[in-house]
Structure 1
Amino acid sequence: MTSDAPRAEAGFAPASASWPIRLDGVSVTYPNGTAALRDVSLAIEPGEMVSVVGLSGSGKSTLIRTINGLVPVTSGSVQVGPHAVSGLGGRRLRELRGRVGMIFQGFNLAERVDVYRNTLVGRFARAGALRTLLGISSAEDREIALRALDAVGMLDKVWTRAGSLSGGQKQRVAIARALSQDPRVMLADEPVASLDPPTAHAVMAELVALGAERGLTVLVNLHLMDLARDYTTRMIGLRAGELVYDGPAADATDADFEEIYGRRIRPEDRLGATA
């Protein structure tokens, strides 16, 4: 049996199925005239663990939303695996989003619904319109959702209402929901911004472990310098929509962060406490 067999049995794709990401001269200008990205070019290889660092308004969220087509580019091109994102629509766009997991700062869970059904939503990202509308799941869908919850240590909360969970538990359910898509790429938009320091460290460690286990291409938006250094291998720095740093996260100096932030480092730029 090969090393990929356990993942295949669990319903997850082998590491070799992860996708690269290419941005070529990408600019985004919103209808109000705000230039969110300015001529950004990047090449991210399958399985990379990448942080996108910058202050609020730097273009971090816009950048990762161009990857799953939530934000259309004004100019340039985005390629994710076999998909030229800029030209997608309808069924093809749904197919892309079904393979790109997304984790949000605010969890985006149905608070009155149990953990199991929240996680199962990830399977509907790849289902047909009728199945999604009717909420019909297959035995395989249910098995994959349960295995995703087990992977993040939340199987014992499977029938717990999401609204009764702690912040860290909610984010783990959100990660399980994204994992249940069997993603080729995982995007996380400030996933620990609303968590206390020990929980933030624990969630970041979970993302690293899951990404390594499945060989996932992971992009995580952060504004805290110690999290970027400690948990990601590559760091992309954005300032006012422009790429100002791209290199090993561990090698980023305080001066590099000051260039990204456009100001001197402040205490709030570090999370500080460890798990």
Structure 2
Amino acid sequence: MPERTPHTEVEGAESSAFVAWPIELDGVTVRYPNGVVALNNVSLSIAAGEMVSVVGLSGSGKSTMIRTINGLVPATNGTVTVGPHTVTTLRGKALRELRGSVGMIFQGFNLADRASVYQNVLVGRFAHTATWKTMLGMASSEDREIVLRALDSVGMLEKVWGRAGALSGGQKQRIAIARALSQEPEVMLADEPVASLDPPTAHAVMTDLERINTERGLTVLVNLHLMDLARQYTTRMIGLRAGEVVYDGPATTATDADFEAIYGRPIQSRDRLGK
């Protein structure tokens, strides 16, 4: 693997070997083959180490944007830059190497239920491991230590040898966070990570992401549709509606009127997590 290119040192980060990366979208449009325009000329700059929420209703373009950042969805027009990488020009091995530096957390967890928690989190090391070792299921002592530290950081170390399928939804999401952390990423992306969780568990997962941002200094971008979580856990909020940015400002001071402009309708009870 090539040596990582540092961009901005993060004072007090948990590991001095890794650094936060900024994210920039310049005139990005995503048009799907069926003609649907999911993003329309979006331009954004996210500084290294920021904790940012992307808020919008289903179909607003949130998931498309987060997947465009790590190259899962190609931009039709415009440029996406993550740290030293121009994502929109990457192919093959270069794109895989970028994804090794970008942690990704999904709403549906994406765990192998029949495998152990340890095996699931070890997957995060594959981008930094020789292919032949991956095929043989070999892990170095350093990889094992990174996996155990990642599990400990989300309070799941005691489940290390348990089967992933036996865990609750909240526990599975914490394992998914640990898997992303085991990559030792420069950027963490989370696509609706609390959408299927009950309120206490959703707050616990958001607290984990907030702590990761604070303690490790990672750039964290999280898709949400719940206004109270955006206000409580993120410092900046980007509002998407019909693929366009309709709000970009502080999350804590965003008003109900701001959220109504993002949603394109009056606020409803389901727009708040509650207790």
Structure 2: runs of 5+ lacking an equivalent: 1-9
Q: Tell me the equivalent position of 2:14.
A: 7
The residue identity in structure 2 corresponding to 1:183 is: P
Distance (whole Å) between structure 2 residues aligned to residue 5 and residue 250 of structure 1: 24
Is 1:107 matched with 2:109?
Answer: yes
The aligned counterpart of 1:253 is 255
Q: Is 1:59 aligned to residue 66 of structure 2?
A: no
Shift of 1:138: 1.1
Task: Look up the match of 1:134.
Answer: 136
Any gaps of 5 or more consecutive residues in structure 1? none
Match of residue 94 from structure 1: 96
Conserved in 1, the CA contact under 8 Å of 2:150 and 2:181?
Answer: yes
Deviation of the 1:133 alpha carbon: 2.8
The alignment yields a C-alpha RMSD, in angstroms, of 1.4
Tell me the residue number matched to 1:212: 214
Mapped contact 1:13–1:182 kept (Cα < 8 A): no
Tell me the residue number matched to 1:77.
Answer: 79
Taking the aligned partners of 2:38 and 2:45, their CA distance within structure 1 comes to 19
Match of 1:177 in 2: 179
Partner of 1:168: 170
Aligned to 2:190: 188
Give the residue type in structure 2 aligned to 1:108: N
- Change over 3 Å in CA distance of 1:79–1:5 after alignment to 2: closer
Structure 2 Cα separation of the partners of residues 4 and 226 of structure 1: 29
TM-score (norm 2): 0.94
| Aligned with residue 224 of structure 1, among 223, 226, 233 | 226
Alignment equivalent of 2:35, drawn from 28, 33, 39: 33
Alignment partners' CA distance in 2, 1:142 and 1:67:
29
Q: Secondary structure at the match of 2:249?
A: strand
CA distance in 2, matches of 1:31, 1:251: 38
Q: What amino acid is aligned across from residue 149 of structure 1 in structure 2? A: L
SS of structure 1 residue aligned to 2:210: helix
Residues 38-94 of structure 1 show CA distances to partners (whole Å, capped at 9, x for unaligned) of 000000001000000000000000000011100000000000001000010111111
The 10-residue stretch of structure 1 (121-130 or 30-39) with the greater mean CA deviation from structure 2: 121-130
- Which secondary structure state, in structure 2, belongs to the residue aligned with residue 251 of structure 1? coil
- 1:122 & 1:216 partners in 2: Cα distance? 16
**Helix, strand or coil: the match of 2:128?**
coil
Q: 1:183 to 1:6 in 2, by over 3 A?
A: closer
Aligned partners of 2:31, 2:250: CA distance in 1, in Å?
A: 29
Aligned AA (1:203): V
Q: Is the 8 A contact 1:7 1:13 kept in 2?
A: no
Pair 1:23-2:30 in alignment: no
Among all aligned residue pairs of Structure 1 and Structure 2, give the percentage whose two residues are the same amino acid.
73
For 1:166, the aligned partner's letter is S
TM-score (norm 1): 0.94
Query: Quick one: distance in 2 between partners of 1:6 and 1:72?
Result: 31
Deviations 1:8-39 (A, max 9, x none): 4xxx745xx11000100000000010000000
Name 2:242's counterpart in structure 1: 240
SS at match of 1:195: coil
C-alpha distance 238-263 of structure 1, shift in aligned 2 (>3 A): same
